[in-house]
């Protein structure tokens, strides 16, 4: 007896891990491997050299010295700008920014999965991470300066922390995790954070959930506070900002956007207006399988007499998806990332239990389905990256022509796709109409008397009145109208 006690004390003195700690470390390895594979896949399939997209330039320009800050419309929040600031504040290198975001997104996925380890077996969590990480939309947006992925992983962590906090009032780590993940969601997209957490807040009146609900509300309030304060300092109040945000998104009302989301699954990053043919059935099969797998997951959880975790995760996935399926009139696949993340754990649990039966038919079906799923996602992400590359090359040609014509910083760009082109050129951007309106025609005319100004107009369209007498040149699908003070143009 004494010898065993001395041996234990000796092991502790030498810094050897306790058996429980060693087991926990071993259990984390599969999750770390999934996160590392996700990071590597982003760098290989999306690539650090992919240029910044339209919305990315808005977020990055807020903290970058490369170009003046673009207009920050009412629905946007500052979370992404804070996320990229450690890199974007001192360098304009897109590859460094992509590497920064890929590493952070991999780490975030690992942490979000790890908080579930007391609720589901590690093999379920590893499969859940792989399912979510292998979606083309997750791979495509993981290394991008966009908020949706971060809402997704924060939502995944928040549900697990909430469940743990309700089950064990002494689990202080779960309470801190719940506060942090709620704050991250609200910092990235405040309105989305509310939709995601509605089922969690609905459990608040229950005695066991009061403390967790209070922490959840505190986290949401802390994350949304800058957005709310900014609403009063720059947007005319909270109600006005919410109203303007809804107007920019076409107004909230009953819109059946399910088919729109279906059209976007083939690799369209924005479907507005959402017209055209549906993708091939093979590309959308996984989407139709999700509701069936979710129902199977719930049935499995009820049969195992542990339905709470599965039901709550599914409920949060449903409320996260609801506004983007039924309340707005357009689609973008990234909008559903939080729902996909929350569906991943219950679906993975159902698949693991299917294969655990060791029935040849079930094992073969699951393996074949996963193989097809992976092949489809790889095909779509490759095409999405290719389309983005084509668009960025078009913008680069426009920037080259701007420089040839003498439109160099300090300068101002307006018109068609002015925001991303202006950022690439190091110019300011402005608009006289639409969701990014921040100036007038007279303001543009005054600017043209003191700096180079250019207006981009789709080829074949008439220029705005202030640019009718400017020199022009066709660049691809746009006509570039420009004036350079003192150059005689």
Domain-embedded: residue 23: no
Q: Same structural domain for residues 326 and 445? A: no
Say whether both 147 and 74 belong to one domain.
yes
Q: Are residues 153 and 112 in the same domain?
A: yes
pLDDT per residue as tens, the chain (489 positions): 444 434 433 443 344 444 456 666 677 899 999 999 999 999 999 999 999 999 999 999 999 999 999 999 999 999 999 999 999 999 999 999 999 999 999 999 999 999 999 999 999 999 999 999 999 999 999 999 999 999 999 999 999 999 999 988 889 999 999 999 999 999 999 999 999 999 999 986 666 678 999 999 999 999 999 999 999 999 999 999 999 999 888 788 888 899 999 999 999 999 888 888 899 999 999 999 999 999 999 998 998 877 889 999 999 999 999 999 999 989 999 999 999 999 999 999 999 988 887 788 888 888 999 999 999 999 999 999 999 999 999 999 999 999 999 999 999 999 999 999 999 999 999 999 888 899 999 999 999 999 999 999 998 899 999 999 999 999 999 999 999 998 754
Query: The tokens 């629905």 sit on which residue?
Result: 75
Kindly state whether residues 331 and 416 are assigned to the same domain: no
Domain count, the chain: 2
Nearest Cα to Cα of residue 133 among 119, 112, 117: 112
- Give the residue from 356, 379, 409 where a domain finishes: 356
Res 251: pLDDT: 80
Q: Are residues 411 and 278 in the same domain?
A: no
Q: Is 237 a member of any domain?
A: yes
- 292 in the same domain as 199: yes
The answer as to whether 361 is a domain residue is: no
Give the separation between CA 441 and CA 158, rounded to whole angstroms.
Answer: 47
With respect to residue 82, please indicate whether it lies within any of the assigned structural domains: yes
Q: What angle do CA 279, 282, 283 make, to 5 degrees?
A: 50
Amino acid 2: pLDDT: 42
- Whether residues 315 and 423 share a domain: the answer is no
Do 263 and 399 fall into the same domain? no
SS3 call for 179: helix
Please report the pLDDT score of residue 249 as a whole number.
82
pLDDT of residue 462: 94
Provide the pLDDT for residue 359: 82
Token pair recorded at residue 402: 């701007």
Any residues with CB less than 8 A from the CB of 16 and at least 6 apart, and which? none
pLDDT of 18 reads: 44
Q: Which two tokens stand for residue 169?
A: 């009032």
Contact 371, 363 (CB under 8 A): no
- pTM beyond 0.85: the answer is yes
pLDDT of residue 13: 39
Q: What is the pLDDT of residue 250?
A: 78
Domain boundary pick from 341, 356, 371: 356
Q: How far apart are CA 145 and CA 16, in angstroms?
A: 41
Distance CA 238, CA 391 (A): 36
Q: Rounded to an integer, what distance in angstroms lies between the CA atom of residue 303 and that of residue 383?
A: 42
Determine the structural domain holding residue 405 and report its residue range. Answer: 389-483
Query: Do 74 and 219 lie in a common domain?
Result: yes
pLDDT at 354: 86
**What are residue 243's DSSP bridge partners?**
none
**For residue 414, is it within any domain?**
yes
């Amino acid at each position: 007896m004494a010898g065993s006690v001395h041996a234990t004390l000796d092991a502790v003195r030498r810094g050897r891990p306790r058996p429980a700690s060693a087991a926990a470390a071993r259990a984390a390895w599969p999750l770390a491997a999934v996160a590392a594979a996700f990071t590597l896949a982003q760098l290989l399939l999306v690539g650090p050299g992919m240029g910044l997209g339209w919305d990315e330039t808005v977020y990055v320009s807020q903290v970058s010295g490369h170009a003046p800050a673009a207009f920050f419309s009412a629905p946007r929040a500052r979370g992404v700008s804070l996320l990229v600031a450690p890199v974007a504040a001192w360098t304009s290198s897109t590859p460094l920014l992509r590497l920064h975001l890929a590493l952070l997104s991999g780490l975030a996925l690992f942490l979000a999965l790890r908080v579930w380890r007391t609720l589901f077996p590690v093999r379920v969590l590893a499969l859940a991470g792989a399912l979510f990480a292998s979606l083309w939309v997750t791979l495509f947006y993981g290394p991008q300066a966009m908020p949706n992925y971060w809402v997704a992983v924060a939502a995944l962590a928040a549900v697990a922390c909430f469940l743990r906090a309700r089950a064990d009032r002494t689990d202080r780590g779960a309470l801190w995790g719940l506060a942090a993940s709620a704050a991250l969601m609200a910092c990235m997209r405040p309105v989305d954070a509310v939709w995601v957490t509605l089922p969690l807040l609905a459990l608040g009146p229950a005695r066991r959930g009061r403390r967790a609900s209070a922490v959840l509300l505190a986290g949401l309030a802390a994350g949304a506070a800058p957005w709310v304060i900014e609403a009063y300092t720059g947007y005319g109040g909270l109600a006005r900002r919410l109203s303007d945000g809804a107007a920019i998104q076409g107004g909230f009302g009953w819109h059946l956007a399910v088919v729109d989301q279906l059209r976007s699954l083939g690799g369209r990053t924005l479907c507005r207006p959402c017209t055209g043919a549906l993708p091939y059935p093979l590309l959308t099969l996984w989407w139709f399988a999700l509701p069936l797998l979710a129902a199977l997951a719930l049935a499995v959880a009820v049969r195992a007499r542990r339905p709470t975790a599965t039901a709550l995760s599914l409920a949060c996935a449903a409320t996260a998806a609801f506004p983007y399926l039924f309340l707005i009139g357009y689609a973008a696949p990234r909008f559903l990332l939080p729902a996909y993340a929350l569906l991943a754990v219950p679906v993975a649990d159902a698949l693991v239990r299917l294969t655990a039966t060791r029935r040849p038919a079930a094992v073969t079906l699951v393996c074949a389905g996963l193989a097809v799923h992976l092949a489809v996602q790889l095909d779509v992400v490759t095409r999405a990256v290719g389309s983005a590359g084509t668009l960025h090359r078009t913008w680069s040609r426009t920037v080259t022509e701007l420089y040839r014509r003498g439109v160099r910083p300090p300068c101002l760009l307006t018109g068609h796709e002015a925001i991303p082109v202006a950022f690439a050129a190091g110019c300011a951007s402005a608009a006289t109409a639409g969701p990014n309106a921040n100036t007038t025609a007279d303001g543009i005319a005054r600017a043209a008397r003191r700096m180079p100004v250019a207006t981009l107009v789709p080829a074949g369209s008439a220029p705005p009145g202030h640019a009718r007498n400017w020199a022009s040149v066709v660049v691809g699908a746009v006509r570039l109208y420009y004036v350079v003070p003192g150059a005689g143009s």
